Amino acid sequence: MVQTLERLINEEGEILIMENKATLPTPSELKAQYPLTQKAKETVHKGRKTISNILTQQDPRFLIITGPCSIDDINTATKYAQKLKQLSQEVGDKIFLVMRTYFEKPRTTVGWKGLIYDPKRDETYQMLDGLIESRQLTIDVGELAVPTATEFLNPLVADYISDGISWGAIGARTSESQTHRELAVSLPMPVGFKNTTEGNVKTAIASVQAASSNQTYLGLSENNERKIITVQGNHNAHLILRGGTNGTNYDQESIKNALQTLEDNNQQQRVIVDCSHANSNKKPENQPKVALSVANQRQTNPYISGIMLESYLIQGKGDLCGQSKTDGCIDWETTKKVINEIYSVL
């Protein structure tokens, strides 16, 4: 049942909002109904530990986070995960593969906001179904021993799915948000902050600094109780370069400057490069070029921890099964080819 809001204005000109009583289960209730399997828990724990070790250079492997721009169908996404598992077995000695499972989509204006909000993509907003499907996918992919990654957009959503995620991102549109900095502190996984849509790296680095520090804030428990929460800093917070309206930032000089700014702000020098978005000029066919450029730079720059790819079964963007419904992606064959090329470079 979709919760609807009606706006009314009283005689004093004040806006009143009347709502129906449709509710969702609490995060703890939903987790009890759809618990992670033991295998999925092991996958999450191992994924978090491995990514942390890559970021701190205790693990020499190259991190590649790859998958669709947004999840629209869990069965098709599971097929992608199966292919990723097979590829991981082939390149796992040099590359650690994590599947991108983005359930929420930030919009510049309006548009489909992702599986959690509108799983049928028909504006019926069956959020309970979206939450259930999202949890089910983290379980299914975890059963395949493939770790998952997602962007956390609405802090209220995080408690429903975060136990099944190994790596998190705070997006370009929310990187400066105090609320999302506090969210990153509370997440039990490595979290990356993207530079802003304009390309401002200093803002993201300020967020990394804030997320690395202890925070006290007003929040909700998994039983929806309002609480004062104090959390130690997330020491695996890091920077993601995704380019901006000012241009790309995956070149050697841009990465060098970003790492120097991190050091100047007493933050660990480590960076992940998003090969899509502004770094590819929003053209999926440009992603392989960006990925190989970064992989070659990694040879002399150990502070480059990895890359992100937007990839699905079918090239581009459209309504075909296995094709991205938001940003255009490279297809599976291209993904496999570029990852094998990176493996050769490494």
The neighbour count for residue 21, using CB atoms within 10 Å, is 6
Q: Say what the pLDDT of residue 66 is.
A: 98
Question: What residues contact 143, with CB distance under 8 A and at least 6 apart?
Answer: 37, 39, 40, 43
Instruction: Work out whether strand 226-231 and strand 237-241 pair parallel, antiparallel, or are unpaired.
Output: unpaired
* Coil/strand/helix, residue 16: strand
- pLDDT higher at 41 or 107: 41
C-alpha span between 287 and 100 (Å, rounded): 15
C-alpha span between 188 and 163 (Å, rounded): 8
Which tens digits make up the pLDDT trace of 306-342? 999 999 999 999 999 999 999 999 999 999 999 999 9
Q: Report which secondary-structure segment, H or E, holds 212.
A: none
| pLDDT band (50, 70, 90) for residue 14 | low
Which tens digits make up the pLDDT trace of 67-80? 999 999 999 999 99
* Coil/strand/helix, residue 163: helix
Domains of the chain and any CATH numbers: 27-345 (3.20.20.70)
- What are the φ/ψ torsions at residue 179 (nearest 5 degrees)? -60, -40
- What are the φ/ψ torsions at residue 192 (nearest 5 degrees)? -105, 145
Q: Say what the pLDDT of residue 107 is.
A: 78
C-alpha span between 170 and 176 (Å, rounded): 9
Which tens digits make up the pLDDT trace of 107-155? 777 889 999 999 999 999 999 999 999 999 999 999 999 999 999 999 9
- On the question of pLDDT at 37 being above 60, the answer is yes
- pLDDT higher at 2 or 47: 47
Rounded average pLDDT over 260-284 = 97
C-alpha span between 238 and 270 (Å, rounded): 6
The neighbour count for residue 327, using CB atoms within 10 Å, is 17
Closest-CA residue to 335 (of 57, 95, 43): 95
Alpha-carbon distances, residue 38 vs 30, 45, 57, 123 (angstroms): 17, 11, 28, 35
Q: Quote the Cα angle for 100-118-75, to 5°.
A: 50
Which tens digits make up the pLDDT trace of 153-206? 999 999 999 999 999 999 999 999 999 999 999 999 999 999 999 999 999 999
Handedness of CA 329, 335, 341, 342 (dihedral sign): positive
Two tokens at 222? Answer: 């998994």
Instruction: Work out whether strand 148-151 and strand 167-170 pair parallel, antiparallel, or are unpaired.
Output: parallel
HEC readout, 90-127: HHCCCEEEEEECCCCCCCCCCCCCCCCCCCCCCCCCCH
- On the question of pLDDT at 10 being above 90, the answer is no
Q: Quote the Cα angle for 64-67-72, to 5°.
A: 160
0.85 surpassed by pTM: yes
Return the C-alpha torsion angle 73, 74, 80, 81, nearest 10: 160
